[in-house]
């Protein structure tokens, strides 16, 4: 991001697709991490600060993912502000990236962290199956929305390029 990020784009009328998607992706991952922390840890108390079955390396991975979510949300928002300043952000690209990040992070949490590594579960002392199904179905839905938006953005961009005067 160093020099590329600092290199100013002078083509403000053009949409910076790559950075629009990245900004959305970062915000999506950050929001997923934030919702996990506030809703499931703090409000519902379904998740616990520490689950006795979590191995030490699971706690380390937890910590790194926690920091990543913080970095993503703050970095993603500043990247968004920068795109706005350059008038080069594409809303569809951004929302596509956002849902991709949201769904991707939740699917990672729901499959690898919950089921494969078994760091922790969504809720305790209940039949976990419906929770897992809803969790991962929502994640897959967000991923599909993200992909659909990105495809639509690409179609629209191609159509505009065809009709635009040279």
Partner 1 sequence: MPIGWLIDWQTAPAPWVTLLAGLALYVVGVTRLRRRGRSWSRRRSATFLAGWGVLLIALCSPLAAHDESFPVHMVQHLLIGMLAPLLFALSAPITLALRVLRPVDRRSLVRILHSRAARALAFPPIGALIYTASLWTLYLTPLFAQTLDHPLLHEALHVHFLLVGCLFMWPLVGLDPVGSRSSMRVRIGVLLLALGSHAALAKLIYAGWMGGGLAHTLPTEDIHAGAQLMYYGGDAIDAALLVIFFAQWYARAGRALAHAERRSTGPSIPGMHPPARRAQARAAR
Chain residues binding partner 1 by CB under 8 A are 1-3, 5-8, 10, 12-13, 49-50, 54, 56, 59-60, 62-68, 70-71, 74-75, 77-78, 81-82, 85-87
Rounded Cα gap, residues 18 and 41, in angstroms: 34
Minimum CB distance to partner 1, residue 23 (Å): 12
Nearest to partner 1 of 35, 71 (CB atom): 71
Minimum CB distance to partner 1, residue 72 (Å): 10
Rounded Cα gap, residues 163 and 60, in angstroms: 53
Rounded Cα gap, residues 67 and 70, in angstroms: 5
Supply 51's token pair. 């689950």
Minimum CB distance to partner 1, residue 115 (Å): 21
Nearest to partner 1 of 9, 134 (CB atom): 9
Query: Alpha carbon of 161 to those of 24, 104, 116, 165: distances in Å?
Result: 23, 30, 45, 8
Three-state SS at 93: helix
Nearest to partner 1 of 2, 127 (CB atom): 2
Minimum CB distance to partner 1, residue 122 (Å): 19
Nearest to partner 1 of 25, 149 (CB atom): 25
Helix, strand and coil in the chain, % to nearest 5: 75, 0, 25
- CA 122 to chain centroid: 19
Minimum CB distance to partner 1, residue 127 (Å): 27
Rounded Cα gap, residues 157 and 14, in angstroms: 11
Nearest to partner 1 of 54, 111 (CB atom): 54
Count the Cβ atoms, other than its own, within 10 Å of residue 79: 22
């Amino acid at each position: 991001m160093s020099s590329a990020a600092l290199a100013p784009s002078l083509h403000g009328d053009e949409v910076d697709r790559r950075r629009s998607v990245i900004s959305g992706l970062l915000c999506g991952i950050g929001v997923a991490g934030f919702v996990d922390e506030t809703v499931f840890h703090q409000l519902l108390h379904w998740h616990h600060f520490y689950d006795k079955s979590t191995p030490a390396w699971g706690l380390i991975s937890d910590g790194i993912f926690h920091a990543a979510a913080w970095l993503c949300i703050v970095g993603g928002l500043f990247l968004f502000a920068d795109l706005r300043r350059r008038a080069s952000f594409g809303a569809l690209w951004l929302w596509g990236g956002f849902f991709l990040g949201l769904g991707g992070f939740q699917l990672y949490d729901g499959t690898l962290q919950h089921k494969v590594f078994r760091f922790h579960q969504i809720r305790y002392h209940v039949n976990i199956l419906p929770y897992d199904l809803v969790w991962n179905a929502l994640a897959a839905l967000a991923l599909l929305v993200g992909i659909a938006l990105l495809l639509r953005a690409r179609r629209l961009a191609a159509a505009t390029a065809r009709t635009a005067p040279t």
